[in-house]
């Protein structure tokens, strides 16, 4: 099984690149942000809870997020592997994911970390706000909060996988094709 974590700050290109990788490697794409947004759209209890955090640029609590992710993985018993996009975002989520996948005998194969400078991230998110319809892209204060939360809570997850020898840093600036190629060569080296 090929289980990949696609990692990086908001606006790094995780969603865009996932679409290419899913096709190239026949993996199941699980984006916690997309799943939360689908729940908001469907007006579920989970969506209502998540929305209050997302609109402020804060993380949805770990217990809720971990339970949801595990339920999503369990929906795909025949998967050849997964791309986890936007998860894990805390070291507690990483520890829970490791334990969960260990139990299934299919641990994380590698973490691909897209590196993009902060001014470029803000420019991309401002542009994305024109078409994404996402309230958390449209408000510069919320964008800044998401970047701050990334540094404080999410960046340590890279060290978690570096300690396991699984971290692959990828330059996330350039053409979409060039970045896909960098990701593919990192994956093919795993």
Catalytic (active-site) positions: 14, 89, 128, 134, 146
Q: Closer to ligand AMP at the Cβ: 13 or 57?
A: 57
Extract the tokens encoding 89: 């975002």
Q: Reply yes or no: is the peptide bond before residue 88 cis, omega within 30 of 0.
A: yes
- Kindly tell me which residue out of 17, 18, 21, 87 binds ligand AMP, with binding defined by CB under 6 A: 87
Binding window for ligand AMP (CB under 6 A); candidates: 51-59, 97-105, 119-127, 162-170: 51-59
Q: Is 89 in the site for ligand AMP (CB under 6 A)?
A: yes
- Kindly tell me which residue out of 8, 9, 33, 172 binds ligand AMP, with binding defined by CB under 6 A: 33
Q: Is 60 in the site for ligand AMP (CB under 6 A)?
A: yes
Element at 112 (helix H, strand E): strand 110-115
- Kindly tell me which residue out of 40, 53, 139, 184 binds ligand AMP, with binding defined by CB under 6 A: 53
Q: Is 172 in the site for ligand AMP (CB under 6 A)?
A: no
Question: What's the CA gap between 10 and 86, in Å, rounded?
Answer: 9
Residues in contact with 150: Cβ distance below 8 Å, sequence separation at least 6, in sequence order? 9, 10
Q: Is 86 in the site for ligand AMP (CB under 6 A)?
A: yes
Residues in contact with 147: Cβ distance below 8 Å, sequence separation at least 6, in sequence order? 9, 10, 118, 121, 122
Extract the tokens encoding 137: 């892209």
Question: What's the CA gap between 107 and 72, in Å, rounded?
Answer: 16
Q: Is 121 in the site for ligand AMP (CB under 6 A)?
A: no
Burial class (CB in 10 A: 0-12, 13-18, 19+), 131: exposed
Q: Is 146 in the site for ligand AMP (CB under 6 A)?
A: yes
Q: Is 166 in the site for ligand AMP (CB under 6 A)?
A: no
Footprint of ligand AMP on this chain (CB under 6 A)? 10, 32-33, 36, 53-54, 57-60, 65, 86-87, 89, 93, 136, 146
């Amino acid at each position: 099984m090929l289980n990949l974590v696609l990692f990086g700050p908001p606006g790094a290109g995780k969603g865009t690149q996932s679409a290419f990788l899913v096709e190239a490697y026949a993996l199941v794409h699980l984006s916690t942000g997309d799943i939360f947004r689908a729940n908001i759209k469907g007006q579920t209890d989970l969506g209502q809870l998540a929305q209050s955090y997302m609109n402020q640029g804060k993380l949805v609590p770990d217990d809720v997020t971990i339970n949801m992710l595990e339920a999503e993985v369990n929906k795909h018993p025949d998967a050849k592997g997964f791309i986890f996009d936007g998860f894990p975002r805390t070291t507690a989520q990483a520890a829970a994911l490791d334990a969960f996948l260990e139990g299934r005998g299919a641990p994380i194969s590698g973490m691909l970390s897209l590196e993009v400078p902060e001014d470029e991230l803000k420019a991309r998110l401002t542009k994305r706000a024109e078409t994404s319809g996402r309230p958390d892209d449209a408000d510069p204060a919320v964008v800044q909060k998401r970047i701050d939360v990334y540094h404080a809570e999410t960046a340590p997850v890279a060290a978690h996988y570096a300690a396991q020898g699984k971290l692959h840093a990828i330059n996330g600036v350039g053409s979409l094709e060039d970045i896909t190629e960098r990701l593919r060569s990192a994956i093919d080296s795993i």
